[in-house]
Amino acid sequence: MLQKGEPEINKSIRINGAIRARELRIIGPDGEQLGIMSLKEALSKANDMNLDLVEISPGANPPVAKIIDWGKYQYQKMKDQQKNRRQAKSGDLKQMRFSV
């Protein structure tokens, strides 16, 4: 259960061993495409870089996964959600009309 100040992060994102696809389209940490490779190859490449393999788009054919630092990714998502919430709250201006 989330507490008041805690933002919600999508729990359905699969990481490392939780990925079920046999072949994945891999995107590197710098955003470059590394190509289509097997799950084992992708996991070993991510381990070599000391990063995590995160499934970004499971509905694609083949599914898209990115090699990134999971902790940093979660933190960035949380900050983006907080920023969006702040902007949504400060959007309304109230007006008062005075007449004599």
Class of domain 16-78: alpha beta
Mean pLDDT in residue range 65-80: 90
Separation of CA 25 from chain center? 16
Separation of CA 3 from chain center? 21
Question: Residue 51 is encoded by which pair of tokens?
Answer: 């990063």
The pTM of the whole model exceeds 0.85: no
4-42 pLDDT tens trace: 554 455 567 788 878 888 898 999 888 898 889 998 998
38-53 pLDDT tens trace: 989 988 998 998 998 8
Burial class of residue 100 (count of CB atoms within 10 Å of its CB; 0-12, 13-18, 19+)? exposed
State the pLDDT confidence band at 1, using cuts at 50, 70 and 90. Answer: very low
Instruction: Write down the domain spans for the chain.
Output: 16-78
